[in-house]
Structure 1
């Protein structure tokens, strides 16, 4: 990576971290009414075995983390009195279970019973359970039937309060994830639209296209992973979206690496990539066709992800040692590595939290995923800027080279090659144009008597007069040492004569001010309609050139210009 790009990337990362900290700490939320987290004091019965005064966050202590499909969980507690709060609700997250809620033996909520009977997939979902205003002191009972093996280890304690306060608290707790998810989606959609215009004409931009789609996939994944939508827009497919997008991450990484890397052993690499993709497809087939749900095959994805991290690490080390990829690709590689590292750390946290080696790891889990995604998208953004800067510099260089190829070095006017191209273009049209042949008088005399610098000045002075006279109405070019050419479109003889008169007047003014030598030109012009019907621009030019030489001879004979100049 070029050193000049390290500082902007570091600044971008620091800015992203500061924004994340600002979102999570400075945007405070204050509830209007009292709220309570119902963690303590539950009586929990699992398959008929009763356990008293168990915190929900220690649910694993009574099951050892082993739950199977068909297990029955019954738990109840007494609701506290929070005073007179409007629209009292409980927010509770079920995890791969049905959920039936009772208040003093009266059913007030039911979810998933029909889905369970049909043996369909029950995911993770937040539920708003509406309570009557006289809820205080009544018994709240949850009955859950487990639909997946190893459904959960612990449960999030229900949140009791006024619905607007509970919703606001939920949004505040998940603000970093919501902000990151929305940023990833907006970034991905915006740059997908941009890259779609260029993908066919600029091969190097394919990695940008995949990166944009990958950002959108990550947005869908982290939003569904934390069940951001379910409290507000119920959909039982949210968890399926989580697994579907998560299982695509590893194939995306392989494809991304293939586009930005110089793969030495392509057969081995493609074999590993296709096997990983095949595993992903097999997991989809097992879920949607054979009813073996994607949660069951989650360890297979974790193994594939860990192996993929090893592949990414190998290529990063290789790139640092060999330095055989572009700085743009190196930026993308760095972002991919940080993202993969964050995923690996999150995987470790996930397993340690599941086995209670790291309790209360929710914040650390969110921060790790959030940071990994932000670093990846910041590197994508930096790469876009580097690519655009490089493309602009390349275009400027191309324009400069084109200018050098088609410009006269002394006058900066178009040269003969550009004039020939212009005349070829005229042959493809039906325009009635006029070509003016212009020849300087006495250039050799000025060169011999006053030196070539004076001759060059004679040429450049005339070029300025020519541009001033014709630039707005026609095309001007220097096609030889003392030969110039002008092409006018949609002009009449009267217009041409007026323009030539203006040019000669400007030369006379210049002669009066700078009288060291006399400046004059011979001109001749011809229109397309004066030649044969199928005449080329070259034939029109020859007619104009012939008329110019006729005028030049008259000037030599009548005015003696050849003697004086």
Structure 2
């Protein structure tokens, strides 16, 4: 019990150290990076109109109370462009579900979302980057944001002015923890998914590793989509939006899949039903989304409610099955403890982010334009880390259990003195080959004069005689299917198929080995009687009967040895 507590403490400590090192590294990178040019936050002097109604003039953006923008609402922002010295300058801002048109004077210099909206009936979120030059300095800048769905957005992002390289660096550094987490979780998930079939087939026959990898990959993909990294890499906002929403919808599939693989039978059935429901729900949504009947973004609230309900069900079942998870005699206590801690932490952080997002969207002046995902990101990292630690403890237990089981089998079926198969194992093998009706040969071998050695030199020399004789048998019949000790001085050797036809050769090799060992031995001499029988000599009979025939032939040879007194054991005084 003390060792188990220590391993838990070490695992938690290593997990905490890992997170701290990553945070420290990202902080060092953020502080040490120097921008090639200054970044300007165009925060003030904005005039904002909603559907031709003036909301604010010459105002600071974050102080303007933006109402919820719905489908076809038009929000117009205008201000004067400051002096621009660099012709590679760009204007950077984030939009949610909005068609974007940017004018300098009367000229349209940037447009986003209209073609995508006409084709897919939705306009994905995007980090917009609008090119500006020195010639635009002092001109009137107008940004038109048109809502494409109900509750498109309810606030405005910051408008940053700077070089394209610095803008990209600014975006990555501002969200470095989340982006790094997304990349890490995605790569880790792919690796775990790739190795999970091998682990399933050749090790524990468990789906934990696969669902751990799938959960990690989906969480990472969602985070990368949320921060627009997929769009940045392939310049495809629709693919970025699809990856973000599809992964978000599929996360309950992987989590419930993991749950039904770890819960006991009473709750397993319920999680299997929820798992199948989540798969069916995703397939239906996917079809509706592809045919532009119902978009993923239109059912966000329902998906959030479904996640909360399933989280409550999981918590209730965790409480109901607490004896299964926390019984001190349960071999999986440490593994299950990490799984439960990670799951509860992820649920708390994810549900908190959902409430924070919805609150800011409908109730707060801050609005929903900002990405409230830091809690979700931290919870995802913690959850996946706990899943991996849980699986490691589970695998360690399984390996120890399998090793202990093998040792118990060895103890049950191995002769402790010689290391050969014992009588129980020999009878088990004979039963197996009887059922298979294959060609085989059985040797019955008796070690001569064991009692004389025991009585003359003591049982320690008798034991040495037995172990030495076992080594001779093992060296001679190296390819035998079974070498065993039936008890006392009686031994058995079974050869199958082709090996069964070389008996005369093996007997010569056997006596050659006896002679070689006798030349080296100073206390006693090795001698044996044998008999063997082929399976076809006793047709339609069991291996036990074939052994009895070999045994009777062995006793005939033993009788001859006694009568002739020529093959007994000789002693050196």
Which residue of the other structure, out of 28, 45, 60, is the alignment partner of 1:55? 60
Q: Determine the structure 2 residue equivalent to 1:503.
A: 514
Q: Distance in 2 between matches of 1:343 and 1:562?
A: 84
Q: Determine the structure 2 residue equivalent to 1:350.
A: 357
- 1:330–1:49 Cα change, 3 Å: same
Q: Distance in 2 between matches of 1:268 and 1:468?
A: 57
Contact 2:70 2:152 in 1 (8 A): yes
Normalising by structure 1, report the TM-score. 0.82
Q: Distance in 1 between matches of 2:157 and 2:379?
A: 25
Q: Determine the structure 2 residue equivalent to 1:437.
A: 444
1:137-148 to structure 2, matched below 5 A, reads 137-148=138-149
Q: Distance in 1 between matches of 2:80 and 2:376?
A: 36
Equivalent residue pairs, number: 555
Q: Distance in 2 between matches of 1:414 and 1:527?
A: 20
- 1:307–1:526 Cα change, 3 Å: closer
Normalising by structure 2, report the TM-score. 0.81
Q: CA deviation at 1:416?
A: 3.3
- When structure 1 is superposed on structure 2, of 191-200 and 493-502 the one drifting more is 191-200
Q: Distance in 1 between matches of 2:565 and 2:120?
A: 109
- 1:390–1:362 Cα change, 3 Å: farther
Contact 2:79 2:142 in 1 (8 A): yes
- 1:365–1:441 Cα change, 3 Å: same
Q: CA deviation at 1:375?
A: 0.9
Which residue of the other structure, out of 528, 536, 557, is the alignment partner of 2:563? 557
SS at match of 2:206: helix
- 1:126–1:214 Cα change, 3 Å: same
Q: Distance in 1 between matches of 2:219 and 2:99?
A: 28
SS at match of 2:219: helix
Q: Distance in 2 between matches of 1:494 and 1:277?
A: 65
Q: What do the CA deviations read for 1:307-333 (whole angstroms, capped 9, x no partner)?
A: 444434444445557736742334322
Q: What do the CA deviations read for 1:118-138 (whole angstroms, capped 9, x no partner)?
A: 681112112232334644434
Q: Distance in 1 between matches of 2:34 and 2:253?
A: 43
Which residue of the other structure, out of 26, 33, 37, is the alignment partner of 1:33? 37
1:121-200 to structure 2, matched below 5 A, reads 121-132=122-133, 134-197=135-198
Q: Distance in 2 between matches of 1:248 and 1:120?
A: 22
Q: Distance in 1 between matches of 2:310 and 2:78?
A: 44
Q: What do the CA deviations read for 1:242-283 (whole angstroms, capped 9, x no partner)?
A: 334334445655554454345868999899989988987887
1:189-338 to structure 2, matched below 5 A, reads 189-197=190-198, 205-233=206-234, 234-250=236-252, 253=255, 256-262=258-264, 291=293, 293-318=295-320, 323=326, 326-327=332-333, 328-338=335-345
Contact 1:439 1:522 in 2 (8 A): yes
**Which structure 1 residue ranges, 5 or more long, are not aligned?**
none
Q: Distance in 2 between matches of 1:199 and 1:283?
A: 31
Q: Determine the structure 1 residue equivalent to 2:80.
A: 78
Q: CA deviation at 1:95?
A: 1.3
Contact 2:154 2:367 in 1 (8 A): no
SS at match of 2:237: coil
- 1:96–1:477 Cα change, 3 Å: same
Q: Determine the structure 1 residue equivalent to 2:348.
A: 341
- 1:509–1:346 Cα change, 3 Å: same
SS at match of 1:412: coil
